[in-house]
């Protein structure tokens, strides 16, 4: 009887530790309850496993639970954990249905803290399905439930919500609102100091880096990375590491950036996290390109592409192709660069990913500006159109860099459709000829309404010649 009472007390302590965000403490308690047949123990163990990214173990424990035999309080926890499992598996619709069920139960039970947690995960599901505004409304609703909850579990739930709101506000360009939310989140999650604290630090670091506060950003991001590696939590580590590397590169600290990525790469390889490993190789390729180490950049980009092919990850495949296109451009292999970047653009179009398509166009412009300035200008204009909604300072810097490089050439197209050759700064003969031919053909076709015979008459050349030039310039 005494042992049973002690076990029951330990189950209560385990639940309290989880609800207050003390997951390391909860993880240490679990071995003492392995023989406990209470389905609530299986649910609580699944919650701990989910926190540490042990998805398969969480699913196995939940599969051992018969939901029809659960009371209302245990059933609500079961549904919340099951919804998180489906969320991790990117089954958004099913996750949403289950999480709505958990929230309904928590409303009936008047369990405000747990309802707030349910609304948090339901908001994450909405965000993943592209409804960020509805997600934000749910998180604000959840915050309102916690206004009088001055407890450790209330602080933990509120800290997680502030992190979600801060990340959302950062994504939508509300910098000062995001800053306030993220600093509040870091303060509230100080006792947890695990997955959510590190994620909040990572988002705050990204915000600081975007504002040019790189030294503070590196401090926050470095601490986030150390926590995530310590607990071997893969998914947030994939987000934090590239941001940390980019901030270090911007400060000229290339060796530190490379070391940080290798640390995360080793951790992700130990975890068997294929998607994360692929993204670390992609980040290494970006660092090597910044250092103009073309050979190592190509090696890392090809490793990223191999992982993309194995995982059938089209986003990573497009990113790796963009990097390989940039490598080819650095080697002045313009044909290979254009082919690779064109392939990346087609993958991005298939994904309906405007950001990736815009980057493919931008680096394609950079690859071809030396041999086809007119084409480069067209691609830059398209890249600007695609990338404009993202308000990303790093992307804006890249657009400016490529655009300045293209416009610094010795041939210019004015806004009123005039081609200018500056006799004091003579261009390469072949570049000038190709540019002039493209300019004349494009305008002749426009004036002739696409009729090849009329376009040939305007230019004094044959219809066959017009046809051949149009195919050459892909007009």
**CA–CA separation, 224 and 468 (whole Å):** 58
- Which range, of 149-153, 243-247, 305-309, 438-442, averages the lowest pLDDT? 438-442
β-pairing, 411-413 vs 419-421, is: antiparallel
**CA–CA separation, 400 and 387 (whole Å):** 12
pLDDT at 468: 82
Mean pLDDT along residues 188-207: 95
**CA–CA separation, 216 and 182 (whole Å):** 14
Whether 3 shows a pLDDT value over 70: the answer reads no
Q: Please, which contacts does 259-264 make with residues 24 or more away whose CB atoms are closer than 8 Å?
A: 260/222, 260/225, 261/287, 263/225, 263/229, 264/225, 264/229, 264/237, 264/238
- Tell me what percent of the residues of the chain surpass a pLDDT of 90: 67
Angle at 39 between CA 38 and CA 41, to 5 degrees: 70
Alpha helices in 331-392 (DSSP H): 334-351, 354-368, 373-387
Q: Which of 199, 261, 191 is nearest to 224 (CA)?
A: 199
Band (pLDDT 50/70/90 cuts) for residue 6 is: low
Q: Look up residue 452 and give its two tokens.
A: 């090849």
Q: State pLDDT tens for residues 370-422.
A: 667 777 878 888 998 998 887 777 888 888 888 776 555 556 666 677 777 76
Q: 293-312 b/e with 16+ CB inside 10 Å = b?
A: bbebbbbbbbbbbebbeeee
**CA–CA separation, 226 and 193 (whole Å):** 11
pLDDT at 413: 63
**CA–CA separation, 428 and 15 (whole Å):** 74
Residues in Cβ contact with 218 at an 8 Å cutoff, skipping those fewer than 6 apart: 205, 244, 247, 248, 251
Q: Which of 244, 326, 260, 262 is nearest to 290 (CA)?
A: 326
**CA–CA separation, 409 and 62 (whole Å):** 63
Mean pLDDT along residues 201-216: 93
Which uninterrupted H or E stretch holds 413? Answer: strand 411-413
Q: What is the value of pTM for the model shown? A: 0.80
pLDDT at 405: 64
Whether 120 shows a pLDDT value over 80: the answer reads yes
Q: Which of 240, 233, 235, 188 is nearest to 219 (CA)?
A: 240
């Amino acid at each position: 009887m005494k042992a049973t009472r002690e076990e029951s007390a330990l189950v209560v302590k385990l639940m309290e530790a989880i609800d207050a965000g003390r997951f390391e403490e909860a993880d240490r308690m679990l071995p003492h309850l392995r023989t406990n047949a209470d389905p609530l123990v299986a649910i609580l163990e699944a919650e701990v496993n989910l926190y540490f990214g042990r998805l398969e173990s969480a699913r196995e424990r939940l599969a051992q639970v018969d939901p029809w035999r659960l009371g209302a309080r245990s059933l609500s926890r079961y549904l919340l954990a099951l919804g998180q499992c489906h969320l991790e598996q990117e089954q958004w619709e099913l996750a949403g249905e289950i999480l709505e069920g958990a929230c309904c139960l928590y409303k009936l039970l008047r369990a405000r803290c747990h309802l707030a947690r349910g609304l948090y995960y339901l908001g994450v599901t909405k965000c993943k399905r592209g409804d960020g505004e509805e997600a934000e409304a749910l998180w604000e609703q959840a915050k309102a439930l916690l206004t009088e909850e001055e407890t450790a579990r209330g602080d933990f739930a509120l800290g997680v919500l502030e992190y979600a709101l801060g990340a959302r506000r950062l994504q939508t360009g509300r910098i000062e609102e995001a800053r306030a939310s993220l600093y509040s989140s870091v303060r509230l999650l100080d006792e947890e100091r695990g997955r959510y604290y590190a994620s909040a630090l990572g988002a705050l670091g990204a915000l600081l880096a975007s504002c040019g506060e790189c030294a503070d950003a590196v401090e926050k991001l470095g601490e986030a990375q150390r926590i995530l590696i310590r607990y071997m939590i893969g998914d947030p580590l994939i987000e934090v590491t590239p941001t940390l590397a980019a901030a270090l590169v911007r400060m000229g600290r290339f060796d530190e950036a490379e070391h940080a990525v290798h640390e995360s790469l080793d951790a992700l390889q130990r975890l068997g996290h294929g998607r994360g490993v692929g993204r670390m190789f992609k980040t290494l390729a970006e660092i090597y390109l910044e250092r103009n180490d073309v050979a190592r950049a190509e090696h890392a980009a090809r490793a990223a592409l191999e992982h993309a092919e194995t995982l059938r990850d089209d986003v990573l495949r497009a990113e790796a192709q963009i990097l390989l296109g940039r490598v080819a451009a650095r080697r002045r292999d313009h044909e290979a660069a254009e082919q690779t970047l064109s392939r990346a653009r087609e993958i991005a179009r298939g994904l309906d990913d405007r950001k990736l398509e815009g980057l493919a166009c931008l680096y394609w412009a950079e690859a071809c500006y030396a041999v086809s300035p007119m084409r480069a200008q067209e691609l830059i204009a398209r890249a600007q159109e695609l990338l404009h909604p993202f308000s990303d300072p790093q992307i804006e810097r890249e657009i400016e860099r490529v655009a300045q490089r293209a416009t610094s050439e010795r041939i210019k197209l004015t806004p009123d459709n005039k081609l200018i050759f500056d006799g004091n700064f003579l261009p390469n003969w072949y570049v000038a000829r190709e540019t002039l031919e493209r300019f004349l053909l494009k305008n002749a076709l426009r004036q002739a309404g696409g009729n090849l015979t009329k376009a040939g008459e305007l230019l004094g050349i044959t219809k066959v010649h017009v046809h051949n030039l149009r195919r050459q310039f892909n007009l």
